[in-house]
Amino acid sequence: MFRMSLTSDEIDHIAALARLSLTDDEKSRYRQQLSAVLDYIAKLGEVDTTPIPPTATVLPLRTVLRPDRVRPSLSVPELLANAPESEADMFRVPPVLDGGADG
């Protein structure tokens, strides 16, 4: 079986992507745990699944969504009543990307 062992640099990179600040003990523990998960996934990859159709399922296919139905909704003033800020009958929210309209 293929063994996947993550390096400390890879753990640092993963932690940075997740915006996590980890201690050395946590890095060591997560390196072992994530490596074990990847080993298990590699083991699953060894299973011969060629005779199984890609869309096979053990459950019957059915939709769990209700049909759309037109019904009365709230008015614009009712919708905006609890909004911290509104403008021109819309919710006003702070920009989430740099360079937005207000800064």
The CATH number of the domain where 25 resides is what? Answer: 1.10.20
Count of structural domains, the chain: 1
Tell whether 75 is covered by a domain.
no
Print the domain residue range for 41. Answer: 8-45
Per-residue pLDDT tens for 5-54? 899 999 999 999 999 999 999 999 999 999 999 999 989 889 998 888 88
Q: Show the tokens assigned to 98.
A: 């740099």
- Bigger pLDDT: 5 or 72? 72
Give the model's pLDDT for residue 96: 85
Give the model's pLDDT for residue 103: 47
How far apart are alpha carbons 15 and 34 in whole angstroms? 12
Q: Show the tokens assigned to 5.
A: 């062992």
- Which stretches within the chain are classed as H helix? 8-17, 24-45, 76-80
Percent share of the chain, pLDDT over 90: 59
pTM for this structure?
0.47
Strand partners, 86: 91
Q: Mean pLDDT of all residues in the chain?
A: 87
